[in-house]
A and B are shown apart, each in its own frame.
Chain A
């Protein structure tokens, strides 16, 4: 029975893996992922421990690139937090850190492009007007009021359409370890063992 010592332990090991794959399918471990996006005039933060396990009541702190504290709050039952977008210089970044209990922390940095700093609400109408005007020569002329109204309608409609996409991105970001990674990791460990064993046996032969 003992002639092949690792055969039984490998059997045990594969039973363990089987059991883990059965029990753990949807819920995976302790990597705290944070994702944030701009929605309307707000920044939405979403924090999770992977597949549908939101960080409830996680402490959120928002800082500028230079480390100045802008906002502090807690996530709700869905792991979300919404706060008004702070006024920032054009090239300003924001670092959002979420702490989910002792030892667990994750962060997400929003670049100027993510924040849409270049298109601050106050400047936008003027820029847009100049962009639209050449094209509007051929179309029935619109008054300035109508143009403003139209551009507001369009930006609202686009925001509404894009919102679910952003939420979908957020969900993608929080995916836990994939099966490929799990199998890959096991492969590495067993492979390293095999390599070490081969090396040791070669040394013995000499």
Chain B
């Protein structure tokens, strides 16, 4: 999911940077003082998730968990993901500092989207919670992949080629993220249900 340095053109890098800064500013306003710790913990979870490799076919995929971060944090997931990506670029060399904005948009944009799309379903409880959580995990990766393909359009291949290539590789990851998000949400619903409402409670 991380785009490396030196691939994208300057206009896309600039657009990504501006969008990421706006998103981060909105997100920071949404962080209630009581939930700073949860935000930083979910940011850490996102930070380490990229290291979890699951062998799929000939290659392997790594978890992203942006769906999970999104449904719990809502807009606050933008700063959470941006900081985690910054540290990943600095410490692991994933992505890079110039592409930080674009990578933030690719991963945090879908996080906010699934919060609005599936948040109400998850708060309803019961079977719709399980389904909503699965869809949130899956759709977040789907949207991220589409954004990734869109960002890469300006490089060498056409959008459709790139998207087809990426989507094929990401289908196992979508299912996996769906399942992981489903289990984590079911677990949280049992042990700490207020966490699933927290983005709502902050700004009713």
Name the interface size band of chain B.
Answer: 35 or more
Q: Is the CB of A102 within 8 A of B162?
A: yes
A168 interface contact, C-beta 8 A = no
Q: Is the CB of A13 within 8 A of B41?
A: yes
Beyond A29-B51, A184-B91, whether A2 also contacts B33 by CB under 8 A is no
Distance in angstroms between the alpha carbons of A186 and B48 in the assembled complex: 8
Q: Is the CB of B94 within 8 A of A197?
A: no
Name the interface size band of chain A.
Answer: 35 or more
Q: What does DSSP make chain B's interface, helix, strand, loop or mixed?
A: helix
Q: Is the CB of B4 within 8 A of A103?
A: yes
- Please give, as numbers and ranges, the residues of chain B lying within 8 Å of A197 by CB-CB distance: 33, 36-37
A149 interface contact, C-beta 8 A = no
- Please give, as numbers and ranges, the residues of chain B lying within 8 Å of A9 by CB-CB distance: 38, 41-42, 188, 192, 195
Query: Of A53, A189, A196, which is in contact with the most chain B CB atoms at under 10 Å from its CB?
Result: A189
B52 interface contact, C-beta 8 A = yes
Distance in angstroms between the alpha carbons of A9 and B48 in the assembled complex: 15
Distance in angstroms between the alpha carbons of A177 and B122 in the assembled complex: 35
Q: In chain A between 101 and 139, which residues have their CB closer than 8 angstroms to a CB of chain B?
A: 101-107
Q: Is the CB of A23 within 8 A of B33?
A: no
Q: Is the CB of B83 within 8 A of A189?
A: yes
A143 interface contact, C-beta 8 A = no
Distance in angstroms between the alpha carbons of A106 and B4 in the assembled complex: 7
Query: Of A29, A104, A105, which is in contact with the most chain B CB atoms at under 10 Å from its CB?
Result: A29
- Please give, as numbers and ranges, the residues of chain A lying within 8 Å of B50 by CB-CB distance: 29-30
Distance in angstroms between the alpha carbons of A189 and B55 in the assembled complex: 28
A169 interface contact, C-beta 8 A = no
Q: Is the CB of B2 within 8 A of A200?
A: no
Q: Mark B16-49, 1 if CB is under 8 A from A, else 0.
A: 0000000000000001011011111111110111
Q: Mark A190-206, 1 if CB is under 8 A from B, else 0.
A: 10111011001100100
Distance in angstroms between the alpha carbons of A79 and B42 in the assembled complex: 35
B176 interface contact, C-beta 8 A = no
B12 interface contact, C-beta 8 A = no
A24 interface contact, C-beta 8 A = yes
- Please give, as numbers and ranges, the residues of chain A lying within 8 Å of B45 by CB-CB distance: 13, 16
Q: Is the CB of B152 within 8 A of A17?
A: no
Q: Is the CB of B4 within 8 A of A2?
A: no
- Which residues on B are within 8 Å of A, measured CB to CB? 1-7, 31, 33-34, 36-45, 47-55, 60, 62, 83-84, 87-88, 91-94, 148-149, 152, 155, 157, 162, 165-166, 184, 187-188, 191-192, 194-195
8 example contacts (A-B, Cβ-Cβ < 8 A) are as follows A9-B41, A16-B45, A103-B1, A182-B91, A189-B83, A192-B40, A193-B39, A197-B36
- Which residues on A are within 8 Å of B, measured CB to CB? 1-2, 5-6, 8-10, 12-13, 16-17, 19-20, 23-24, 27-33, 53, 97, 101-107, 176-177, 181-182, 184-186, 188-190, 192-194, 196-197, 200-201, 204
What 6 A-B pairs come out closest when comparing CB atoms?
A193-B40, A200-B33, A177-B92, A181-B91, A31-B93, A189-B44
